[in-house]
Structure 1
Amino acid sequence: MAKVNWGIIGCGNIAHTFAKSIAHCSDAQLIGAASTSMQRAKEFATPYNIQDYESYQALMQCPNIDAIYIANTHDQHFKTIAQCLKHNKHVLSEKPITVNAKQLQSLTKLAKQQNCFLMEGVWMRFLPAIVKLQQLLREDVIGNVHSVNANFSLPGSFADTHRLMNPVTAGGALLDLGIYPISIADVV
């Protein structure tokens, strides 16, 4: 089986986590990264010995890239993912995949039309404890879930200028942190 060649769009902290993780995969390899800043793309690409691209579009047009990991800001996911799918690229997106249901429906339809894989990477869904919980629910060991009480937070505070605090970039508690307990509630 041939390796899946990955590109990354968005070169922030979470992209480094993905790049370091993919290095441990025998059936995948990272070959390129793009950012809104060429300098940032170069700085990101250098330690991984991968190609830096001058634009998202240039990365999407690369015939050697099979799949793209979306790690830019929430407000840019819909547009970026749609462009990737139109270039017949499979997509794994950071959460939230979109900022509303209408956008998600549009991307799901486009992915089907293009015969492309599309997934939101909510890591908590694949934790062994969550997988076991799903199994116990399927086997009716636990019974019916009638309510979920969840809490998920980060220590400290953020500056008003931080992306998490900026409604223009779809920041805020719901889309950045609330998505985790909501996702788990959806699983159960």
Structure 2
Amino acid sequence: MPNKLRWGVVATGGIADVVTGDLRLLPDVEVLAVSSRALPKAESFAAKHEIPRAYGDYTDLLADPDVDVVYVATPHAQHHAVTRAALEAGKHVLCEKPATLTLPDLHDVVDLARESGLFFMEAIWTRFNPLIVRLGELVAAGEIGDVRSIHADFGFTLEHDPAHRLWAKTLGGGSLFDLGIYPVSFAHLLLGEPATVAAHGSMVDGVDAEIGMLLGYPDGAHALLGSSLVSPLKSGAVVYGTKGLVELPEAVFNPSRIIVNGVEHRHEQEGAGYVPQLREVVNRVLAGDVESPSMPHAESLAILRTLTRAAEQVGLTYADVAV
């Protein structure tokens, strides 16, 4: 293993731009290569981030023997194919959420990673936010008693455009898998996988424009969650316990402050907020691990099971999406 982990970035969209900026803040990382379907875009991205190698196809990046870790930032529908190809090429993988759109595809890449002894993680950066980590510790310590109810949502208004990735089914669009995954992941963090899932929403062009979910647990605890592309949800969260509550006034996916029983906790964000997640990948790869205990394979599978159960109830499926 070299002194610095050499990363390759697949895709040059907005999330790739921000995450690559944070990658360059880590001292033990070199962003070595980037790929795009259009070589000029890869070259422009490379120039912006001082990346020495630009490729016009991700297969060329995966063939580069000097790349150790691949960050997959393509539209959702391409995640499985690119991740599988990267693992087959002997690369460790950090894949943007959702790691895949279907459970068979996620089982496929998890099994391949484990068989190959390669690190694979779904990039749910919320799990590494210091305040979310602290919240989990406080809840585990009984600071608010037993968790009885979680309210969380994430949504905004986005003008309908069939070509936009969030409205295009062929790209894995819809609110649930792009936005709703954050409230669902948050509920899983504190209550685990639900026993029951009830969902209601509206569909446009084969994808969900909005969805509301009620996750039920055997002891009566529950989570009320929502995501939307047609209304500006507060995008925060409240966790109610038997001895108090935790409030996330904004950004359930990346809070800058939380209020625990009236006491405010803050943290200074590193970069754009992705640094803790990226540092975890580096540490786990260097340690020879195939997964992170903070975002293990089993958790990705559990979250996708919940998303799938909700999706089925509003008529959302990606099984027919061809990459």
TM over 0.5: yes
Moved more, 78-87 or 19-28: 19-28
Q: Which moved more, 1:91-100 or 1:74-83?
A: 91-100
DSSP-derived class of the 1:24 partner: coil
Letter in 2 for 1:127: N
How far, CA to CA, are the matches of 1:115 and 1:17 in structure 2?
Answer: 29
Question: Which position in structure 2 is the counterpart of 1:184?
Answer: 186
User: Aligned partners of 1:72, 1:108: CA distance in 2, in Å?
Assistant: 19
| Number of the residue aligned with 2:104 | 102
Of residues 35-44 and 60-69 in structure 1, the stretch that sits farther from structure 2 once superposed is 35-44
Letter in 1 for 2:68: D
* Residue 172 of structure 1, aligned match among 171, 174, 198: 174
Measured after TM superposition, the shift of residue 101 of structure 1 is: 1.8
Unaligned runs of 5+ in 1: none
1:135 corresponds in structure 2 to: 137
Q: Equivalent residues in 2 for 1:8-47 (5 A)?
A: 8-47=9-48
Inter-CA distance 75–156: structure 2 relative to 1 (3 Å threshold): closer
For residue 154 of structure 1, report the CA deviation from its aligned partner.
Answer: 2.8
Letter in 1 for 2:58: Y
Structure 1 residue aligned with 2:124, among 122, 125, 131?
Answer: 122
Any idea what SS the aligned residue of 1:103 has? Answer: helix
Of 11-20 and 140-149, more deviation after overlay is shown by: 140-149
CA distance in 1, matches of 2:36, 2:173: 19
Letter in 2 for 1:33: V
Q: Which residue of structure 2 lines up, in the alignment, with residue 2 of structure 1?
A: 3
For residues 97 and 184 of structure 1, what CA distance do their matches in structure 2 show? 17
Considering only aligned residues, what root-mean-square deviation do their CA atoms show, in Å? 1.5
Match of 2:76 among 74, 98, 101: 74
Instruction: Write out aligned runs for 1:140-179 (5 A).
Output: 140-179=142-181
**Which secondary structure does the structure 2 equivalent of 1:149 belong to?**
strand
CA deviation after TM superposition for structure 1 residue 14, in Å: 0.8
TM-score by length of 2: 0.56
The one-letter amino acid of 1:34's match is S
SS of 2:26's equivalent? coil
The answer for unaligned runs of 5 or more in structure 2 is 191-323
Match of residue 53 from structure 1: 55
Q: Which moved more, 1:156-165 or 1:98-107?
A: 156-165
Q: TM-score, normalised by structure 1?
A: 0.94
Quick one: distance in 2 between partners of 1:40 and 1:156? Answer: 25
Give 1:155 shift: 4.7
SS in 1 for 2:147: coil
More helix by share: 1
Alpha-carbon distance in structure 2 between the residues aligned to 1:101 and 1:85: 18
Residue in structure 1 matched with residue 89 of structure 2 by the alignment: 87
Equivalent pairs counted in the alignment come to 188
Name the residue aligned to 2:235: none
C-alpha distance in structure 2 between counterparts of 1:77 and 1:128, whole Å: 27
Amino acid at match of 2:147: V
Structure 1 distance, partners of 2:134, 2:160, is 35
Q: How far does residue 32 in structure 1 lie from its aligned partner after superposition?
A: 0.5
Deviation per CA, 1:83-125, whole angstroms, max 9, x where unpaired? 0000110001111111122211111100001111111111112
* Worse overlay, 166-175 or 131-140: 131-140
Residues in 1 aligned to 2:148 and 2:120: alpha-carbon distance in whole angstroms: 30
The one-letter code matched in structure 2 to 1:45 is A
Q: What SS does the corresponding residue of 2:149 show, helix, strand or coil?
A: coil
